[in-house]
Amino acid sequence: MKIQCKNCLPKEGIEVPDFNEPEKQKLSELKIQSPILAMKYIVDYYKLSQRDAKYITTHINKIHDRCNRCAYDKLGGEYVECPRCGSLNFNWQTDAKTLHTR
């Protein structure tokens, strides 16, 4: 799946794997714990470049429905552009994020 964020390079966006639910859960946990771990995991398990791994990690939001960049909190959808700042968010609904919110 091709994704794009107008605030990030490369401008043309990148290709991301179709993550399944357990993978979304795992990546959300890692991102909340440590973005560096999440990046390393993506490079090791999905054989992606550092650049793509960083792009993905950056866009996983820590709190469901909330934009990582400007904290707008009514995103909705899974791969969404924030209506306020235009940033892309991987707005996966996972337990990791729910727990983090509490």
Q: Contact positions toward Zn ion, by CB under 5 A?
A: 5, 7-8, 67, 69-70, 72, 82, 84-85, 87-88
Q: Minimum Å distance from CB 94 to Zn ion?
A: 20
Instruction: Between 48 and 67, name the residue whose CB sits nearer to Zn ion.
Output: 67
Instruction: Between 19 and 55, name the residue whose CB sits nearer to Zn ion.
Output: 55
List of residues 6+ apart from 48 with CB closer than 8 A: 17, 42, 56
- SS3 assignment, position 7: coil
How many CA atoms within 13 Å lie on the side-chain side of 84?
12
Q: Minimum Å distance from CB 67 to Zn ion?
A: 3
Instruction: Between 37 and 70, name the residue whose CB sits nearer to Zn ion.
Output: 70
Give the pair of three-digit tokens for residue 43. Answer: 């490079």
